[in-house]
Amino acid sequence: MVGLIPTIATGFSQLTMYGQEPPTSGTTYTAEEIAEIERGFRGFEEGSDVSTSLILSVSGDMLMMTSWALLLLLSLVSATVWLSRRLDRWRWHLRMLAVTPVFPYAASVGGWVFRETERQPWTVRHHLTTADAVTDMSPLMAATSFTLFTLAFAVLGTVTAWLLVRFARLGPEASPLAAVQEGAADEDRDRLTTPTL
Protein backbone atom coordinates (compact mmCIF):
# COMPACT_ATOMS: atom_id res chain seq x y z
CA MET A 1 0.00 0.00 0.00
CA VAL A 2 2.97 2.28 0.65
CA GLY A 3 4.00 2.08 -3.01
CA LEU A 4 0.46 2.05 -4.36
CA ILE A 5 -0.68 5.52 -3.25
CA PRO A 6 2.21 7.48 -4.87
CA THR A 7 1.79 5.50 -8.10
CA ILE A 8 -1.92 6.29 -8.33
CA ALA A 9 -1.37 9.94 -7.33
CA THR A 10 1.31 10.40 -9.99
CA GLY A 11 -0.93 8.85 -12.63
CA PHE A 12 -3.92 11.01 -11.71
CA SER A 13 -1.78 14.17 -11.70
CA GLN A 14 -1.08 13.57 -15.40
CA LEU A 15 -4.80 13.56 -16.20
CA THR A 16 -4.87 17.34 -15.66
CA MET A 17 -2.89 17.66 -18.92
CA TYR A 18 -5.23 15.36 -20.85
CA GLY A 19 -6.66 17.01 -23.96
CA GLN A 20 -4.43 20.10 -23.76
CA GLU A 21 -2.35 21.19 -26.71
CA PRO A 22 1.43 21.07 -26.13
CA PRO A 23 3.07 24.49 -25.72
CA THR A 24 5.23 23.87 -28.82
CA SER A 25 2.25 23.08 -31.04
CA GLY A 26 2.54 24.75 -34.43
CA THR A 27 6.33 24.89 -34.61
CA THR A 28 6.71 21.79 -36.82
CA TYR A 29 3.31 21.66 -38.54
CA THR A 30 0.82 24.46 -39.06
CA ALA A 31 -2.59 24.28 -37.39
CA GLU A 32 -4.15 23.36 -40.75
CA GLU A 33 -1.66 20.51 -41.32
CA ILE A 34 -2.27 19.20 -37.80
CA ALA A 35 -6.04 19.23 -38.35
CA GLU A 36 -5.63 17.42 -41.69
CA ILE A 37 -3.37 14.71 -40.17
CA GLU A 38 -5.77 14.11 -37.28
CA ARG A 39 -8.84 14.14 -39.54
CA GLY A 40 -7.22 11.53 -41.81
CA PHE A 41 -6.45 9.21 -38.92
CA ARG A 42 -9.67 9.04 -36.94
CA GLY A 43 -10.84 5.92 -38.78
CA PHE A 44 -14.56 6.32 -38.20
CA GLU A 45 -16.66 4.19 -40.50
CA GLU A 46 -19.34 5.86 -42.59
CA GLY A 47 -22.31 6.79 -40.40
CA SER A 48 -20.63 5.54 -37.20
CA ASP A 49 -19.56 7.45 -34.08
CA VAL A 50 -17.36 4.62 -32.80
CA SER A 51 -13.93 3.64 -34.08
CA THR A 52 -11.71 0.71 -33.15
CA SER A 53 -9.26 3.19 -31.64
CA LEU A 54 -11.97 4.59 -29.36
CA ILE A 55 -13.06 1.11 -28.24
CA LEU A 56 -9.46 0.13 -27.44
CA SER A 57 -8.83 3.41 -25.64
CA VAL A 58 -11.90 3.13 -23.41
CA SER A 59 -11.22 -0.57 -22.73
CA GLY A 60 -7.61 0.15 -21.75
CA ASP A 61 -8.68 3.00 -19.49
CA MET A 62 -11.34 0.86 -17.79
CA LEU A 63 -8.89 -2.03 -17.26
CA MET A 64 -6.29 0.30 -15.77
CA MET A 65 -8.69 2.11 -13.43
CA THR A 66 -10.46 -1.09 -12.32
CA SER A 67 -7.15 -2.83 -11.58
CA TRP A 68 -5.90 0.07 -9.47
CA ALA A 69 -9.22 0.32 -7.62
CA LEU A 70 -9.22 -3.41 -6.81
CA LEU A 71 -5.59 -3.26 -5.71
CA LEU A 72 -6.34 -0.30 -3.43
CA LEU A 73 -9.36 -2.12 -1.98
CA LEU A 74 -7.32 -5.28 -1.35
CA SER A 75 -4.60 -3.17 0.28
CA LEU A 76 -7.14 -1.61 2.65
CA VAL A 77 -8.58 -5.04 3.51
CA SER A 78 -5.06 -6.39 4.08
CA ALA A 79 -4.19 -3.48 6.35
CA THR A 80 -7.38 -4.09 8.34
CA VAL A 81 -6.64 -7.82 8.66
CA TRP A 82 -3.05 -7.11 9.72
CA LEU A 83 -4.06 -4.47 12.28
CA SER A 84 -6.67 -6.80 13.77
CA ARG A 85 -3.97 -9.52 14.05
CA ARG A 86 -6.09 -12.09 12.18
CA LEU A 87 -3.59 -13.12 9.50
CA ASP A 88 -3.40 -16.66 10.87
CA ARG A 89 -7.17 -17.16 11.13
CA TRP A 90 -8.67 -15.49 8.08
CA ARG A 91 -7.73 -17.88 5.27
CA TRP A 92 -10.09 -16.18 2.81
CA HIS A 93 -7.78 -13.19 2.96
CA LEU A 94 -4.78 -15.27 1.88
CA ARG A 95 -6.74 -16.62 -1.09
CA MET A 96 -7.54 -13.06 -2.14
CA LEU A 97 -3.88 -12.08 -1.90
CA ALA A 98 -2.93 -14.89 -4.29
CA VAL A 99 -4.50 -12.96 -7.19
CA THR A 100 -3.06 -9.53 -6.35
CA PRO A 101 0.09 -9.86 -8.53
CA VAL A 102 -2.19 -9.85 -11.59
CA PHE A 103 -3.55 -6.35 -10.93
CA PRO A 104 -0.39 -4.23 -11.44
CA TYR A 105 0.31 -6.03 -14.72
CA ALA A 106 -3.28 -5.58 -15.88
CA ALA A 107 -3.13 -1.89 -14.95
CA SER A 108 0.15 -1.50 -16.81
CA VAL A 109 -1.17 -3.14 -19.97
CA GLY A 110 -4.44 -1.20 -19.80
CA GLY A 111 -2.56 2.07 -19.33
CA TRP A 112 -0.24 1.25 -22.21
CA VAL A 113 -3.18 0.53 -24.55
CA PHE A 114 -4.89 3.74 -23.41
CA ARG A 115 -1.77 5.85 -24.00
CA GLU A 116 -0.92 4.30 -27.35
CA THR A 117 -4.41 4.64 -28.79
CA GLU A 118 -5.02 8.13 -27.41
CA ARG A 119 -1.81 9.61 -28.81
CA GLN A 120 -2.41 8.40 -32.37
CA PRO A 121 -1.55 9.55 -35.04
CA TRP A 122 1.37 11.18 -33.18
CA THR A 123 4.62 9.79 -31.81
CA VAL A 124 5.47 13.28 -30.53
CA ARG A 125 2.24 15.27 -30.41
CA HIS A 126 2.08 17.84 -33.22
CA HIS A 127 5.73 17.23 -34.15
CA LEU A 128 6.25 13.64 -35.40
CA THR A 129 3.60 11.31 -36.80
CA THR A 130 3.70 7.56 -36.17
CA ALA A 131 3.89 7.01 -39.94
CA ASP A 132 7.13 9.06 -40.06
CA ALA A 133 8.58 7.35 -36.98
CA VAL A 134 8.15 3.76 -38.18
CA THR A 135 11.38 1.89 -38.89
CA ASP A 136 11.62 0.77 -42.49
CA MET A 137 12.05 -3.02 -42.36
CA SER A 138 11.02 -6.07 -44.32
CA PRO A 139 8.11 -8.25 -43.16
CA LEU A 140 10.60 -11.06 -42.43
CA MET A 141 12.67 -8.80 -40.19
CA ALA A 142 9.54 -7.61 -38.35
CA ALA A 143 8.30 -11.18 -37.85
CA THR A 144 11.74 -12.30 -36.61
CA SER A 145 11.97 -9.42 -34.14
CA PHE A 146 8.44 -10.04 -32.85
CA THR A 147 9.10 -13.78 -32.48
CA LEU A 148 12.37 -13.30 -30.58
CA PHE A 149 10.89 -10.76 -28.18
CA THR A 150 7.84 -12.97 -27.63
CA LEU A 151 10.04 -15.99 -26.90
CA ALA A 152 12.21 -13.97 -24.50
CA PHE A 153 9.18 -12.77 -22.54
CA ALA A 154 7.64 -16.25 -22.56
CA VAL A 155 10.85 -17.70 -21.08
CA LEU A 156 11.01 -14.95 -18.43
CA GLY A 157 7.34 -15.46 -17.54
CA THR A 158 7.74 -19.23 -17.33
CA VAL A 159 10.82 -19.00 -15.09
CA THR A 160 9.09 -16.46 -12.85
CA ALA A 161 5.98 -18.64 -12.50
CA TRP A 162 8.13 -21.72 -11.81
CA LEU A 163 10.11 -19.92 -9.10
CA LEU A 164 6.96 -18.58 -7.46
CA VAL A 165 5.35 -22.02 -7.37
CA ARG A 166 8.59 -23.62 -6.19
CA PHE A 167 9.02 -21.26 -3.25
CA ALA A 168 5.32 -21.44 -2.40
CA ARG A 169 5.55 -25.23 -2.17
CA LEU A 170 8.64 -25.06 0.05
CA GLY A 171 6.68 -22.99 2.54
CA PRO A 172 7.71 -20.00 4.62
CA GLU A 173 10.19 -22.03 6.72
CA ALA A 174 12.37 -22.72 3.65
CA SER A 175 12.34 -19.15 2.46
CA PRO A 176 15.68 -17.35 2.08
CA LEU A 177 14.28 -14.75 4.50
CA ALA A 178 13.24 -17.26 7.16
CA ALA A 179 14.80 -16.73 10.55
CA VAL A 180 17.21 -19.41 11.73
CA GLN A 181 16.05 -20.92 15.01
CA GLU A 182 18.40 -20.76 17.97
CA GLY A 183 19.94 -24.16 18.59
CA ALA A 184 18.90 -25.55 15.17
CA ALA A 185 20.93 -28.43 13.82
CA ASP A 186 23.49 -27.62 11.14
CA GLU A 187 21.51 -29.37 8.39
CA ASP A 188 18.38 -27.43 9.40
CA ARG A 189 20.38 -24.20 9.44
CA ASP A 190 21.65 -24.94 5.92
CA ARG A 191 18.17 -25.85 4.70
CA LEU A 192 16.68 -22.64 6.07
CA THR A 193 19.32 -20.32 4.68
CA THR A 194 19.96 -21.94 1.29
CA PRO A 195 16.87 -23.33 -0.41
CA THR A 196 17.47 -25.65 -3.34
CA LEU A 197 15.83 -24.94 -6.64
**Domain ranges (residues) in the chain:** 1-134, 135-197
Long-range contacts of 57-62 (CB under 8 A, 24+ apart): 57/113, 57/114, 57/117, 57/118, 59/110, 59/113, 60/109, 60/110, 60/111, 60/112, 60/113, 60/114, 60/115, 60/117, 61/110, 61/114, 62/110
pLDDT of residue 197: 54
Sequence letter at residue 105: Y
Is the CB of residue 37 less than 8 Å from the CB of residue 140? Answer: no
* Dist CA 114 CA 11 (whole Å): 13
Sequence letter at residue 39: R
- Specify the pTM: 0.62
| pLDDT tens per residue across all 197 residues of the chain | 566 677 777 777 777 777 778 888 888 899 899 888 887 776 544 555 567 778 888 999 999 999 989 998 998 888 888 888 877 788 788 888 888 889 999 999 999 999 888 888 888 888 899 888 888 899 999 999 999 999 999 999 999 999 989 888 888 777 666 665 555 555 555 555 555 55
DSSP, res 42: -
pLDDT of residue 183: 53
pLDDT of residue 139: 93
* Dist CA 27 CA 111 (whole Å): 29
pLDDT of residue 164: 87
* Dist CA 61 CA 115 (whole Å): 9
Task: With H, G, I as helix, E, B as strand and everything else as coil, classify residue 115.
Answer: helix
pLDDT of residue 147: 97
pLDDT of residue 119: 84
